[in-house]
A and B are shown apart, each in its own frame.
Chain A
């Protein structure tokens, strides 16, 4: 018993620090992915063919290539063009751009679920296209896509473990350094898994609370 307590005192703060890094990575990545995703989803409905083509290429490229390769392109590839990013920044950017393509597809699906009459009645009152999108369409889309978006956030959270490969000291890399010193992979990987479980469960609970909240409002 004293043994476990000692271990906890020894490695606990480090794990907490690493878990915090995962949390920060996830939040920042979600912000980037929403920016990319919304932009790409709206770009796909643009009247300009070239704008639609750029958005289409983005989604096609991201969904068709491994996430790990996208991370490597940004962290190892960009320095060749003089763009040198910290592991953390490169990680947020890579995962955000990656997840954005999936968000774009989710938003697009949500947009097609809204009947055209919804925007027509707003336009008929004199709202501009962008105001209609902002105040009438997107709030409805958001409710529809909440479950899918939650799944995407959970994927993002789990994908942060890939960033161990570019030396971001998140949970996986931290555990690996401990394992190298103690030769006890089982305990430390289980510890990592448990921390991820706690984080994903919290996210899921948060989302289902939001869903119930919206269900009351209609």
Chain B
């Protein structure tokens, strides 16, 4: 049996008095796609950000490939700066608002990290980046600056920038939430194709249909704990009352939004 790619045990994180993660444990095998859903403020982003230690937990244990951390501050296995860098080069992260670097072209955004951090020769880095950009359909934009791209294009470049490091794990934090509705699809298609190629992925999402169709497992976060977890089927047949309520609310919102859109259209027509 191969060991899991990533395992987290009893992760706790507070901001001052506010305990945001109250002991979260999770094991992820290579090739798994884990979707994380939950209400705003339930700790989804904080959890994802603890996995690559953008937020360092107050306590908890983590294993990722050859790395083992104990996040208690006095621990012998508290991660060093070098270990954190090593972790982050292997765990790519994509954010809600892309965060492309505006002073670099699309191509420069993609090759910057591989050249500097993996010491890949520039020529080879450019070849690999060109292949990635062709794959996401943005090869023609390689010389453009990010401000000239649509949100969906920027987000695809951000994904390519992370993929250029050949990560073992990808973390996606609501990567379609900032996008205009008509641009969401192109990003979801890219993520689905990554999933089908066996990329290990953890994604926080509000796209329930996407979570249902693409993931191998769904986690429902509620007030800093995993309140329900299971196969995507739990989205159809939730067990806990909280998940039922959450799904009901989301569904209700979608109906409200749809009818609002409809009535503005009618308003325009009349």
Contact = CB atoms under 8 A, between A and B. Distances in A.
Interface residues of A, number: 20
A143 B158 CA distance: 23
Interface stretch (A79-87, A118-126, A148-156, A170-178): A118-126
Nearest to B87: A126
Across chains A and B, which 7 residue pairs bring their CB atoms closest together, nearest first? A126-B89, A121-B99, A117-B99, A126-B88, A124-B93, A125-B113, A218-B145
A124 B162 CA distance: 9
A217 B145 contact: yes
A115, A122, A126, A127: which has the most chain B beta carbons within 10 Å? A126
A115 B95 CA distance: 13
Nearest to A119: B99
Interface in B74-94: 81, 85-86, 88-89, 92-93
B52, B88, B99, B162: which has the most chain A beta carbons within 10 Å? B99
A139 interface: yes
A125 B145 contact: no
Contacts of B117: 125-127
A124 B54 contact: yes
Given A120-B95, A135-B112, A125 B103 contact: no
A118 B99 contact: yes
14 contacts: A120-B99, A121-B101, A121-B158, A123-B54, A124-B54, A124-B93, A124-B95, A124-B162, A125-B162, A126-B85, A127-B85, A127-B117, A140-B101, A143-B103
Interface string B53-70: 010000000000000000
Contacts of B52: 124
A120 B86 CA distance: 16
A125 B92 contact: yes
B102 interface: yes
A145 interface: no
B42 interface: no
A127 B99 contact: no
A195 interface: no
Contacts of A136: 101
Interface in A34-82: none
Given A135-B116, A218-B145, A123 B88 contact: yes
B26 to A, nearest CB: 19
A208 interface: no
B51 to A, nearest CB: 11
A131 B112 CA distance: 11
A128 interface: yes
Interface of A: 115, 117-118, 120-128, 131, 135-136, 139-140, 143, 217-218
Interface of B: 52, 54, 81, 85-86, 88-89, 92-93, 95, 97, 99-103, 112-113, 116-117, 145, 147, 158, 161-162, 165
A121, A125, A128, A135: which has the most chain B beta carbons within 10 Å? A125
Nearest to B112: A135
Given A124-B52, A127-B117, 16 more contacts: A118-B99, A121-B100, A121-B101, A121-B158, A125-B88, A125-B89, A125-B117, A126-B85, A126-B86, A126-B88, A126-B117, A131-B116, A136-B101, A139-B103, A218-B103, A218-B147
A123 B161 CA distance: 13
B81 A128 contact: yes
A126 B36 CA distance: 24
B116 A127 contact: yes
A126 B103 CA distance: 19
Contacts of A128: 81, 85
A176 to B, nearest CB: 47
Nearest to B117: A126
A39 to B, nearest CB: 22
Contacts of B99: 115, 117-118, 120-121
Contacts of B95: 117, 120-121, 124
A125 B102 contact: no
B199 to A, nearest CB: 17
Contacts of A123: 54, 88
A120 B54 CA distance: 8
A194 B100 CA distance: 47
Contact of A217 (B103, B116, B158): B103
A214 B63 CA distance: 45
Contacts of B162: 124-125
A145 to B, nearest CB: 13
Contacts of B89: 125-126
